[in-house]
Amino acid sequence: MKNIKVSPERFKQIRVEKGVSAYALARMIGSSSAQMWRIDSGRFTTSTLFLQRLVPVFGEEAVASLLVDDDQREHFLNACARLRGIQQV
């Protein structure tokens, strides 16, 4: 799913809680600092694929809390559940 709106304030908050800078997070998930800037700015959207790369760092619930739209949040959690099911086989 694309065009997912993320709360930039919440994104900054969970990074601070984990003690991870935007640059360090980008390196951890194989992304770029430009992608972190786009999320921080609040003017751009992202995809489920990008959000799933954040799950190992922050956890599913924390990443889901970033999503502004409830329907998109539900879709994301369902996608994570499907991935867990595939990985358990």
Which sequence spans correspond to the domains of the chain? 8-88
Neighbours of 86 (CB within 10 A): 8
Q: What is the pLDDT of residue 88?
A: 57
Burial of 78 (0-12, 13-18, 19+ CB in 10 A): exposed
Residue 6 has pLDDT above 90, yes or no: yes
Q: What is the pLDDT of residues 17-71, one digit of tens each?
A: 999 999 999 999 999 989 899 999 988 899 888 999 999 999 999 999 999 999 9
pTM for the whole structure: 0.84
Q: What is the pLDDT of residue 42?
A: 86
Tell me the backbone φ, ψ of residue 67, rounded to 5 degrees.
-75, 135
Q: What is the pLDDT of residue 1?
A: 73
Give CA–CA dist 66/89, Å, rounded.
29
Q: How far lies 30's CA from each of 9, 38, 40, 62, 86, in Å?
A: 22, 15, 17, 19, 22
Q: Which CATH class is domain 8-88?
A: mainly alpha
Give 18's strand partners: none
SS3 10: helix
pLDDT band at residue 87 using 50, 70 and 90 as cut-offs: low
